[in-house]
Structure 1
Amino acid sequence: MDRVVSSYTPPLRALLEARKNGSADGDDGRMLVVAVPDAPGARPLEDVPKEQELLTRLFPGERHTPLAGDDAVRERMREELPRHRWVRFAGHGGQDLADPSQGGLLPRDGKLTVTDIGATGYRGAFTFLSACKTATGGTTLPDEASTITAALHYTGYRQVIGTLWSVDDALAVVVAGSVYRRLTATGRFRPAGAARALHRAIRPLSAGHATRPSAWVPYTHTGL
């Protein structure tokens, strides 16, 4: 980890598609901020409002579109994703190990699945999925990257941060804060530096939680 900044791609063709979208940087986007701390049937996430506050502070006013409470539903997410180059989802995620195409994010009224995402094309630059198991594959097709992270990248988002398994809610806020502060350090949002920003956010956690790798290992960067 001291020598390498890790980044992944589902198939190599996804990198070729990502190149067609131009630079991941630029200040012409709005951040879609989806916050779902209380998905029905799931454990409440007490720190999700902190992430929402962080994003609305870094992207004030018209620079962000909030989806929270009764607005954080499946259909609204499907409508807003193609309209935004930058996306932040904070809430619950899940994976169906037997049928990974049915894994996905949990809004307030069900699940936004890998299949749902794969049915739409995007021209996005950056997505941060602060949710569990968004980069978890299946057991029946171990060589295929059927995950919500891979689906977002493959359908057009150049940079996607996801998680390999369940993550600590409080530590997720720490990682998010570090990543976004680095990407906005110049006064403009620079998502092209996402892989390095995530790497630098994880290094202190790996030192502080050396005997608990589950605290910092799950976070992954996918993209170009």
Structure 2
Amino acid sequence: MTRSGGVSTGPAAGLQCGYGADDDPQAVRANRRLAVETVLPGAELVSVHQIHSPDVAVVEEPWGDDERPRADALVTRRPGVLLGIVTADCAPVLLADRAAGVIGAAHAGWRGAHGGVIENTVEAMVALGAERPRIAAAVGPCIAQPSYEVDASFRAQFGDEEARFFAPGKAGRWQFDLPGYILMRLQSAGIGTAHALGLDTYADPERFYSYRRATHRGEATYGRLISLVGMAR
């Protein structure tokens, strides 16, 4: 979803859905309810306390916002649940095997993607009955290569086989293709189809929150977008 609508005000005005944005918690809860009612009315929203890890939580029963486990992906086969991921330049990755009734959602910044959160999410879905060729995935709005400048120490963490995701930038700098890198990891995990929306969070302040943009502008805080996937009962 974009930042349009919602009840938050100030620097993170709009549909701000993250508890770490120095926002009024009541506004965050109201925004989350608005998002749920837009996507799957009556569903229960389940999210995690995101830590840029490769860890996946399996949702057997919904938990409250105050009970969120520390992880960066969720999977379930339970209808009537919406899996929610919040982002502000990192990529939300939503996955589904419709035939098996298994869904997943992952928070994939460079660190999580590099550490295996994509593969771990697919593995967790397979453990619930999904089949890799039937899994479809979408990579949502995230920072795009023209906006993602990194230094040589960042580049050094990736092997030569991943060089195609780095374009030369200014002296000693590179431009990293995060969505392209995530698509490669999804394809390597053997899933059936994967597509990226091609929407740059950094370059579109009217529609998206962006951690890097807020940092460059010296803003006090930044909002979080929410991405949701679920199954009707």
User: Is TM-score (shorter-chain normalized) higher than 0.5?
Assistant: no
Normalising by structure 2, we get a TM-score of 0.28
Name which one, 1 or 2, has greater alpha-carbon Rg: 2
- TM-score (norm: length of structure 1): 0.28
* Structure with a larger share of its residues in strand: 2
